[in-house]
Amino acid sequence: MARPRLTFLATKTAKWIVGLLLAIPLLLLLNDVRIELFDPGARLGPNPGDILVDRLGTWSIRTLYLTLLVSSISRIFKIPVLVQHRRTCGLFAFTYVVLHFTAYLAAILGFDFNTLLGDFSKRPYIIFGMIALLLLIPLAITSTRGWRKRLKLNWKRLHRLIYLIAVLALIHLWMQERSTYTDTVIYASILVLLLVERIIHALRQRMARSKTSSAPS
Amino acid sequence: MVLIKTKKEIPSSEITPEAVYLSRRKFIGQSSAAVAAGALAQSTLALPDSWIEDHGYEPGEEIGEDITPEKHATSYNNFFEFGTDKGDPAKHAHQMTVDPWSLEFKGLVEKPGKLPLEDVIKDIDLEERIYRLRCVEAWSMVIPWLGFPVKKILDKVKPQSDAKYVKFTTLLRASEMPGTKARFSSIEYPYVEGLRLDEANHPLAIFAIGMYGKVLPNQNGAPFRLVVPWKYGFKSIKSIVQIELTRRQPRTTWNLSAPHEYGFYANVNPQVNHPRWSQATERRLPQGIFARSIKTKMFNGYDEVASLYEGLNLKRNF
């Protein structure tokens, strides 16, 4: 009741705004690709395929980690309504990952699936990325309210896969770092902080529960 | 120490008095410090474009492949001293002072010493060489370099009979090279590369001081770099300040950082797998987003170097 402004976050309009914000990088990139098709080299430089895959990869991991951050932030700053936007973030992460992989298939491999199979054995970072993508599919499908109700407690269990996916994405990134590990260190730190926050949260809940149950009757 | 044989008499009218020459340098230094950004970056070059015009050069032989547009060759670069993004070198390399520039010759040479770049190269004929440049990242360009065979310089300093390798070192000046201050770095600076002496003496191996008929832009390794067209691009070390002849194989930067990925030889070889990029094909830049890659050739198509490696297992010595 004390923070009327925050109720805006619960509205449909807020959901649209969050979605739009997360779509901006994609829209900008699509615009670049559109211009590239008419005027090669104008927006993405002489090697647009690599740049496209790279940028989509960057936004994949950003949105993925943002999805994980939402619940922590909502707890730390006591804005529970924020959690309503987690699904939008997650679906955008899924979208970016799918596009990242599609761009790799189209622009790097030219849809040569033999090379893709070769890449699995010769370039292991691709395996980690692929597993992360495959694991995201059930999460995207079951992200609706209907599935949430149907799966009940299992829904929560299933969606814990996101932690595994975050680790896989981190390995996928780390294996490709060449001269500096800055990005890996940044994402690894975020992951550690997230996990610490969740452990503290879980411990607090347990303590609260044990207090109520052991209270004298 | 006399290194330079003067070929022809230079008329005294063409020689700039030292005082004027030094003040000119000072002026250039000051003006480039005042103008921080790219526009005047070229003014700091040790060798002005007019040097190339005055010197003249033999035009390069066409190779029947399209030359990469200059704007791409000067804006899509790997020069990690200035950052890891392809655009970083073009953005930051203007900070590098390339005038004055000295080259130090050391190790197993008859004539060691440190000389101003101008003195090292002043009597050498310039040639244009149109070469394919194949990056280990599976892209390639076709670049018209201006330079001369490495052998011409090595002949001047006279390698001793027990010299087997040439070690090249890039400038390291952290105040002008933001990339060298990166945290969590897995490579160490200064950047070092090396060749076997017979590789360095091969007529295809050149030192370049220019490209596209002009002096090298800083991001392309001004004012003096190596170009070894049959090896992956990282062997073609930029902005060289030191050349050392050694008995033992030099410990080179990428090889030290990830020996299973980057061998000492680093000959272009489509049959040797790389854990990051398939080396079977390459993107010839500029390439449309969905355009097909082309097949990579052994030795980047420079078969004439094959005799250097007779009896050497190139899969093991990648």
Whether the CB-CB separation of B158 and B268 falls below 8 Å is answered with: no
- Contact: B182, A45; criterion CB under 8 Å: no
Phi-psi region of B51 (alpha: psi -120 to 50; beta: other; left: phi over 0): alpha
- Hey, is the C-beta of A33 within 8 angstroms of any chain B C-beta? yes
Is A120 domain-assigned?
yes
Is A216 domain-assigned?
no
Q: Is 50 exceeded by the pLDDT of residue B35?
A: no
- Hey, is the C-beta of B289 within 8 angstroms of any chain A C-beta? yes
SS3 of residue A195 by DSSP: helix
- Contact: A49, B182; criterion CB under 8 Å: no
- Contact: A123, B286; criterion CB under 8 Å: no
Look at residue B2 in the predicted model and tell me its pLDDT: 44
Whether the CB-CB separation of B235 and B195 falls below 8 Å is answered with: yes
- Contact: A118, B278; criterion CB under 8 Å: yes
Whether the CB-CB separation of A139 and A160 falls below 8 Å is answered with: no
Report residue A215's pLDDT band, with 50, 70 and 90 as the boundaries: low
pLDDT top residue among A10 and B286:
B286
Mean pLDDT of the B101-122 span: 96
Look at residue B53 in the predicted model and tell me its pLDDT: 87
Complete domains list, chain B, with CATH:
18-256 (3.90.420.10)
Look at residue A118 in the predicted model and tell me its pLDDT: 84
Look at residue B241 in the predicted model and tell me its pLDDT: 98
Q: A177: exposed, middle or buried (C-beta count within 10 Å: 0-12, 13-18, 19+)?
A: middle
Any residues with CB less than 8 A from the CB of B140 and at least 6 apart, and which? B132, B133, B134, B282, B283, B284, B285, B296, B300
Report residue A206's pLDDT band, with 50, 70 and 90 as the boundaries: very high
- Hey, is the C-beta of A118 within 8 angstroms of any chain B C-beta? yes
- Contact map slice: B 137-196 vs A, CB within 8 A: 137, 139, 141, 182-187
CB-closest option in A45, A106, A110 to B76 = A45
What is the C-alpha R_g of chain A?
Answer: 20
Q: How many CB atoms lie within 10 A of CB B184?
A: 13
pLDDT top residue among A161 and B48:
A161
List of chain A residues whose C-beta atoms are within 8 Å of the C-beta of residue B69 = 41, 46
Percent of chain A with pLDDT over 90: 74
- Contact: A47, B286; criterion CB under 8 Å: yes
Tokens of A17: 């705004």
Residue to mutate among B68, B184, B219, B295, with most A CBs inside 10 A, is B184
Is A4 domain-assigned?
no
- Contact: A46, B278; criterion CB under 8 Å: no
Any residues with CB less than 8 A from the CB of B197 and at least 6 apart, and which? B154, B159, B163, B164, B165, B166, B245
Q: Distance, in angstroms, between B124 CA and closest chain A CA? A: 34
Is A104 domain-assigned?
yes
Q: Residue B6 is which amino acid?
A: T
- Contact: A47, B292; criterion CB under 8 Å: no
Q: Residue A186 is which amino acid?
A: I
CA distances from B46 to A116, B96, B208 (A): 48, 11, 14
Residue to mutate among A43, A47, A121, A125, with most B CBs inside 10 A, is A47
Report residue A203's pLDDT band, with 50, 70 and 90 as the boundaries: very high
Look at residue B44 in the predicted model and tell me its pLDDT: 47
Residue B276: closest CA among chain A residues belongs to which residue? A123
Q: Is 50 exceeded by the pLDDT of residue B98?
A: yes
CA distance A47 to B36: 28
List of chain B residues whose C-beta atoms are within 8 Å of the C-beta of residue A106 = 290
Mean pLDDT of the A17-40 span: 94
pTM of the entire structure? 0.85
Q: Model confidence over A142-151: pLDDT tens digits?
A: 999 999 999 9
Look at residue B60 in the predicted model and tell me its pLDDT: 94
- Hey, is the C-beta of A186 within 8 angstroms of any chain B C-beta? no
Is A27 domain-assigned?
yes
CA distance B61 to B128: 8
Look at residue A3 in the predicted model and tell me its pLDDT: 57
Q: Is 80 exceeded by the pLDDT of residue A138?
A: yes
- Contact: B283, A48; criterion CB under 8 Å: no
Look at residue A179 in the predicted model and tell me its pLDDT: 86
Is A214 domain-assigned?
no
Look at residue A113 in the predicted model and tell me its pLDDT: 87
CB-closest option in A40, A124, A180 to B286 = A40
Parent domain of A47: 13-205
- Contact: B87, A118; criterion CB under 8 Å: no
Is A198 domain-assigned?
yes
Tokens of B86: 């392809």
CA distance B96 to B222: 9
DSSP assignment of B105-155: EEESBSS-EEEEHHHHHTTSPEEEEEEEEE-TTSEEEEEEEEEEEHHHHHH
Report residue A4's pLDDT band, with 50, 70 and 90 as the boundaries: low
Is A3 domain-assigned?
no
- Hey, is the C-beta of A40 within 8 angstroms of any chain B C-beta? yes
pLDDT top residue among A10 and B218:
B218
- Contact: A110, B68; criterion CB under 8 Å: no
CA dihedral A45, A47, A51, A54 (to 10 degrees): -160
Of A91-95, A158-162, B64-68, B287-291, the poorest mean pLDDT is in B287-291
Q: Is 50 exceeded by the pLDDT of residue B7?
A: no
- Contact: A47, B287; criterion CB under 8 Å: yes
Look at residue B45 in the predicted model and tell me its pLDDT: 53
Q: Model confidence over B125-149: pLDDT tens digits?
A: 999 999 999 999 999 999 999 999 9
Q: Is 60 exceeded by the pLDDT of residue B10?
A: no
- Contact map slice: B 198-237 vs A, CB within 8 A: none
Residue B141: closest CA among chain A residues belongs to which residue? A46
Q: Highest mean pLDDT: which of B25-34, B181-190, B245-254?
A: B245-254
Look at residue A39 in the predicted model and tell me its pLDDT: 85
Total domains in the fold of chain A: 1
Strands B294-295 and B281-284: antiparallel
Strands B139-149 and B281-284: parallel
Look at residue B190 in the predicted model and tell me its pLDDT: 97
